[in-house]
Chains A and B, each alone.
Chain A
Amino acid sequence: MDAVEQAATKEAESSIDLLVIVLDTNPSQQFVRQSPQNLTQVLESIIAFGNAHLMQKAQNQLAVISCSHHSTDFLYPVPGRQVELRQIDGQYEAFSLVEKTVKQQLGNILMNAPRLSSPCESLLAGSMTMALCYISRLQRNVAAGAKMHSRILVVTGSNECASQYMTFMNVFFTAQKLGIVVDTCALDKTLSLLQQGCDITNGQFLKVTQLDGLLQYLLWVFLPAPQMRHKLVLPPPPKVDYRASCFCHRELIDIGYVCSVCLSVFCKYSPICTTCHTIFKTPGPLPIKPKKKKKVEKQM
């Protein structure tokens, strides 16, 4: 057992840890509407946290993606602009580079953003698809023999968006398949879809309502590499709400009707499937009576 632990520790020391932070910068978020200052505060915490990640190991990598109301953009690194660091100044320069680039990029994005007339949702699931494309490229390019562990940390104060259900699910299954951990730091409400994503990919879900303590929470819960976390005392995993989202209204339901042809979920019985246009032959739902297994199967 000890040998296994040792091997794991050794592997963790030599691997490249890639952290991609998806930061919700949508001005519709409750905490931004309270005071725009709050966004600056969150940004400072994210930069400090990103640098702390880079500081852990020389080979660690960082990317920061902004998800705003009108677009998703990389805040760091910026494509084309080679991250050529003068070695003389050593690592310190890398840290100030993150801060400079992130602030400059976000400034540009907010300057060019269309004015927001009413609150609108953050397309977080979409931003995560971009993160996955980026991670998948970096993983393809890893030198033979080297190992890369990747994770995505979503930091958001937005509300739940059932309309992005399918994209979220595709993101979670892809992450699971590629061994990418999804962590979430919710700044306002509990987000049941992202909670499912953390559960599916073995990530951590944390709700922080006090922005003052954000950096401490980030460092405590999200800085340790996922493969080291089992050794730490972390907040217990929340009970995950695995309800389905109906295709007709995008609402979370716990009993519904499933089309046998396409597996679409509906909250009410209807004689035709709106997804695959199938007309159903059975006139009503199954009788709600305890039955022997075989009999029920035949009736279906």
Chain B
Amino acid sequence: MADDENEDQKEYRWETGYEKTWEAIKEDDDGLLDSAIAEIIQKAKRKRQVQKAKQNRLGMMRHLFVVIDCSESMSVPDLKPTRLLCTLKLLEIFIEEFFDQNPISQLGIIALKAKRAEKITELTGTARVHLKALEGLANVTLTSEPSLQNGLDMALKTLKVVPSHASREIVVIMGSLTTCDPVDINLTIDELVKEGIRCSVISLSAEIHVCRYLTQKTLGTYGAVLDDAHFRDQLLSQVDPPPAAKTQHNSLIRMGFPHSKDEVEGKDAPLSMCMCHVDNLDEPSELCTTGHHCPQCKSKYCELPVECQSCGLTLVSAPHLARSYHHLFPVPNYEELSMESVPQLSECDGIRKCYGCQKVLSAPHDKMVFKCSHCKQFYCIDCDIFIHETLHACVGCNTIPGVAGLIYQQQQQGGKTIAAETHDMLPSTSKQQRQFSM
């Protein structure tokens, strides 16, 4: 049921989005194509923001394959300098952002070269490996046609054996309008559907029927890019974790958060050896006082995340996990209002100011202002964007006691304090509802 809704929405989003796109561009008679596209991107962002607020079950442990078309069509210079080089440049940004926003996720790269698929990098959580591989792709010879099916099959083979609690995804970047496949591609698509692997396609040319069909069947997204800025936006929208797939087996995983305890004792940690380099002959383990200690068995490691070799506990750094929490608790969208609705400050000669950056609001630039429905504060457009895209915390909601902290405060509304909940292990559904009604 929910899936049908989802599909309808996508269909709708794509079709109207496409039509509106061209309308908007035609309307702009000053020849300012860039500004029209910028507006489309801005609108798409807001739309995604609204959708984000509705989801609460996401696939946060992601295993994603990026499939890059490396056929002749990628040498077309409609994206500067060529489709391929533009793609690689944007992928660099994408990879950095992906690991920034998706801790304990993995990524792999597959290239579609002359009817074959080639795995450029295996699934791994280190950005460094992928960035290096991308450099190598810049000089690849672009010939012949790609085979979408071979690429999907290769990704499918690896993703099939990934732990079942992970979210499994494929993002295809297609330059070519055609695909040269060994057998009926529907067989592959059916398999992807069965496995619950979400496939999204970004087309650098025009709409390709089979790609759109693929994304519809696997609940992914489909987009054809207008220019490099639009491409960037489409690609970076894949940084956000997708809704959790039905096939995902969800589990609660026991993890350790290493930290040093010696601060309490007031003396330095003793010299010790790390476990990760014990068997490594190239870089042997060294005695030192730094490192991350497993809270269960005290084994030491140089880098996180890691699985403890002695006791099997998965060790992660807590702030690393925290980087992704804004996906779970997005700042609610602000209401767009005219400047006149901002109250004037009587003590400051009747000026109006932005609650965030303290800017004095003045006519042409600040014609529109943005109001948070929780803390009732007004923000300028720059702060609206900054708060929703970068900061992920509403200034008013976090500085005014009573609305402070949104989620925590809502837990307290029922007359319970946080401390009183200590023995309340299974919170009531109504409380959960409240947590997400924001």
At the interface, yes or no: A25 with Cβ under 8 Å from chain B? no
Contacts of A171 in B (CB 8 A): 391, 393
Closest to B385 in A: A136
At the interface, yes or no: B358 with Cβ under 8 Å from chain A? yes
In angstroms, how far is the closest chain B Cβ from the Cβ of A41? Answer: 25
Contacts of B309 in A (CB 8 A): 290
At the interface, yes or no: A1 with Cβ under 8 Å from chain B? no
Most buried by A among B250, B310, B349, B398: B398
**Known contacts A262-B57, A270-B425, A296-B312; A286 and B254 CB within 8 A of each other:** yes
Whether B421 contacts A249 by the Cβ 8 Å rule is: yes
**Known contacts A163-B418, A261-B60; A177 and B390 CB within 8 A of each other:** yes
Contacts of B262 in A (CB 8 A): 239
Set A249, A264, A276, A289: member contacting B418, Cβ < 8 A = A249
Contact with A along B298-324 (1 / 0, CB 8 A): 000000000101111100111101111
At the interface, yes or no: B22 with Cβ under 8 Å from chain A? no
Whether B395 contacts A129 by the Cβ 8 Å rule is: yes
Contacts of B393 in A (CB 8 A): 125-126, 129, 166-167, 170-171
In angstroms, how far is the closest chain B Cβ from the Cβ of A201? Answer: 11
Closest to B328 in A: A262
Whether A258 contacts B324 by the Cβ 8 Å rule is: no
Contacts of A71 in B (CB 8 A): 399-400
At the interface, yes or no: A32 with Cβ under 8 Å from chain B? no
Whether B351 contacts A79 by the Cβ 8 Å rule is: yes
Whether A166 contacts B312 by the Cβ 8 Å rule is: no
**Known contacts A126-B404, A242-B317, A270-B425; A300 and B251 CB within 8 A of each other:** yes
At the interface, yes or no: A222 with Cβ under 8 Å from chain B? no
Whether A290 contacts B356 by the Cβ 8 Å rule is: no
Whether B253 contacts A261 by the Cβ 8 Å rule is: no
Contacts of A163 in B (CB 8 A): 405, 408, 418
Contact with A along B153-179 (1 / 0, CB 8 A): 000000000010110000000000000
Whether B345 contacts A264 by the Cβ 8 Å rule is: no
Contacts of A262 in B (CB 8 A): 56-58, 60, 328
Whether B263 contacts A241 by the Cβ 8 Å rule is: yes
A residues 122-179 near B (Cβ < 8 Å) are 123, 125-127, 129-130, 132-134, 136-137, 140, 163-167, 169-174, 177-178
At the interface, yes or no: B392 with Cβ under 8 Å from chain A? yes
Whether B395 contacts A133 by the Cβ 8 Å rule is: yes
Contacts of B104 in A (CB 8 A): 263
Closest to B324 in A: A263
Most buried by B among A163, A200, A273: A163
Contacts of B213 in A (CB 8 A): none
**Known contacts A255-B295, A270-B252; A69 and B401 CB within 8 A of each other:** yes
Set B252, B269, B357, B359: member contacting A273, Cβ < 8 A = B252
In angstroms, how far is the closest chain B Cβ from the Cβ of A233? Answer: 19
Contact with A along B364-400 (1 / 0, CB 8 A): 0000000000000000001100110011111101111
Number of chain B interface residues as a range: 35 or more
B residues 27-79 near A (Cβ < 8 Å) are 56-61
Closest to A251 in B: B422
A-B contact count (CB 8 A): 269
Contacts of B345 in A (CB 8 A): 80
A residues 257-296 near B (Cβ < 8 Å) are 257-266, 268-270, 272-282, 285-291, 293, 296
At the interface, yes or no: B333 with Cβ under 8 Å from chain A? no
Set B249, B252, B322, B357: member contacting A133, Cβ < 8 A = B357
Contacts of B398 in A (CB 8 A): 123, 125-126, 129, 164, 167
Whether B360 contacts A79 by the Cβ 8 Å rule is: yes
Set B252, B317, B407: member contacting A259, Cβ < 8 A = B252
In angstroms, how far is the closest chain B Cβ from the Cβ of A240? Answer: 8
At the interface, yes or no: A10 with Cβ under 8 Å from chain B? no
Contacts of A69 in B (CB 8 A): 401
Contacts of B317 in A (CB 8 A): 242
Contact with A along B327-360 (1 / 0, CB 8 A): 0110000000000000001011101011111111
Complex-state Cα separation, A140 to B211, whole angstroms: 40
Contacts of B351 in A (CB 8 A): 79-80
**Known contacts A129-B391, A166-B329; A80 and B349 CB within 8 A of each other:** yes
In angstroms, how far is the closest chain A Cβ from the Cβ of B332? Answer: 15
B residues 246-285 near A (Cβ < 8 Å) are 248-260, 262-263, 269
Contacts of A132 in B (CB 8 A): 386, 391
**Known contacts A134-B358, A286-B254; A261 and B418 CB within 8 A of each other:** no
Closest to B248 in A: A261
Which 10 pairs between the two chains have the least Cβ-Cβ distance? A126-B398, A133-B356, A244-B318, A126-B399, A260-B165, A137-B357, A254-B295, A72-B399, A169-B322, A80-B351
Q: List 16 A-B contacts (CB under 8 A).
A: A126-B398, A133-B354, A133-B357, A133-B358, A178-B390, A249-B418, A256-B257, A260-B248, A264-B328, A273-B252, A276-B57, A277-B57, A278-B244, A288-B296, A298-B163, A300-B163
- Extra 9 A-B pairs, beta carbons < 8 Å, given A126-B398, A277-B432: A78-B348, A123-B400, A130-B395, A165-B322, A260-B165, A261-B58, A280-B250, A282-B252, A300-B165
Chain A residues within CB distance 8 Å of chain B = 67, 69-72, 74, 78-81, 108, 120, 123, 125-127, 129-130, 132-134, 136-137, 140, 163-167, 169-174, 177-178, 190, 196, 200, 238-245, 248-250, 253-266, 268-270, 272-282, 285-291, 293, 296-298, 300
